[in-house]
Structure 1
Amino acid sequence: MTSKLMQTPKDIQNLDTPMLTIDSLIEAQVTFVQHWLRKQAEPLSMEAWQWLGAQPLSKYISSNDLQRLLNDWLLDHPLSEVMRADIRDILHSLIYHPANDNVPLSELVDDTQVATLADYVGSHEQQRNILIHTLVGNETFADLLTQTLYHAINDFMENTLDKAGGVGKLMKLGRSSFEKATNRNLDEKLQTYLHRNIKDLARRAEANAQEHLSNEEVARLLVTGWARIKEQPISHIQTYLRDEPDNSSIDHIEASIQQSYNRLRMSPYLHSLVAAGVDTWYRNHQSDTIASVAASLHIDEQAMAQLNQALLPVINDALDSTWLTAHIREMLQAFYSQPNITDNLGFNNH
């Protein structure tokens, strides 16, 4: 009786299947990996988020990391020209948007907010006195009133007296005689007199207001002032701005923002405040998980699922891209080029 020879796996392969090569295997695996990743992209990303969210913040991020991020990414760089142009365009779009014509100021500030502020100012003596000084004892306002009265009196002297015949000539003669006798210009004397007396009157009015205006009256003044303007459309703000190519208020606003930002970002004062703020925040949250921190920004699993849906087209395009295909192929080639792999598998190299 003749016994049959045992067939090896290599013999079976030769009999039943075409010869596999490493190159053909790699190409099949590249296709499989890309297809598998496309199918699993969404659940994998959610599982990755769940894993990351469960990690403690302090495991990966320190207070110094956050400070370096703010300093290197934000404070060490001026606003770019692109960003400055965007700020100007956005401000212009917001300020001159047609919707501002139909929305009153009361949509921005609620009556209860004004009432709360009015009660606060009225019930705090220091703030109340500052407000009264701003409204009544303002030196700039006194100077403006002085100039207004002076121009009114001077206009009367110059124009009205010309029509007064002999009386007007007599008064002009008296003015000339006064200036010669005192060696002083009557206009200068008049301005000095008005300036001194109006400022004195403003100080007296301020003192009387601070002494006699009750907390309720001060609060009522603020509420009444708000009531007069709250129904004006937001577009009323445009009357205080210029929108000309060579004289744009928005350009001035943006330039001021940029100047202030550049001054502050290089200030040791701001850097010390940023460091203190980051340290305080980190001390409060270092034991939290990343998911807890994200939740404080309203980033939860539902938000991540929505983000995944938005990113899926990008992910699929990336998986189909030539650069990722090349990297997958290179990785597999490196794997199969290991001597122990090629020897043990027994595949042809070509």
Structure 2
Amino acid sequence: MGERVVPSVEEIRHAAEHLDPVFAGSPLLSGTALDAGGARAVLKVETLNPIRSFKGRGAVTWMREVGSTAGGVVCASAGNFGQGLAYAARAAGTSCRVFVGASANPAKVESIRALGAEVEVGGPDYDSAIASARQFASASGLSFVQDGRDPWIAAGAATMALEVTEAGTLPDVALVPVGNSALILGVAQWLRHRNPEVQVVGVCAENAAAPALSWRAGRVVTTASATTVADGIAVREPFPESVAAMLDHVDDMVVVSEEQLRSATRWLAADVGLLVEPAGAAGVAALRADPDRYGGRTVLIPLCGGHLPPDALGWSEEWSR
């Protein structure tokens, strides 16, 4: 039997009750220009915390419930989970080593180091960094944690959905970016608890579509590469437990193009006043790409992270002169 990756409702409640306050209570925005397409969009803003990402919710929850007695922790990350684990390890007084791919966002890597973790390049991309991190942890006798491969990580991520329903919003649809699946599995578990009729839709980048392809095929499907501006969801090899759980908890999967991701990122900056990285804007990209599908319904969209790619703010060079 594979590892359990979907949290229980009780675990989600427990995670919310003990969540580090710096990650709790993120803003919930409605009435934005997204509603012009006919849907009632509700945006959960996860960019206004010390690591500018929802990943802190799962990382601090895992550290408290599983990793607090470890002599040191090791993970692989595209950037945001590494920041979350570094933050959690620093608070717990334990060491943290993060393996990244050579193509990782330099700003995310620098943030991981600033939070006190050691960083190593573990291969050309995130998926190869997982193997390097696992090997290092085994050889060093340290605790290896894989983002999404523990129910406490998903329970932490699910606390954002609990906050949404506690605020009085019961979505008809959730458009959730999908990388390692912890977010969508946690959100789906909680939202279905509150509204069994909710439709949970995963959103992948077209250039990193392995999770969507796997869901459609009903088995793990890998891709040769996952080269996308949405580095936070750049997965080319989903793990089996993730795929099996998504088959049970996800109603549909859609993919968005690189231009749609870039357009959504620009739109959020210009029309909502938020700097959101392309992976975090994937749900907005999906809604803007097919507004008629969601017309008349309340649509929850998590804005998952706020670390933009290095050249995304090219316009600021003119302003600095």
Q: TM-score, normalised by structure 2?
A: 0.17
Q: Which has the larger radius of gyration?
A: 1
**Larger % of strand: which?**
2
Bigger relative contact order, structure 1 or 2 (CA pairs below 8 A, ≥6 apart): 1
Where is the helix percentage greater, Structure 1 or Structure 2? 1
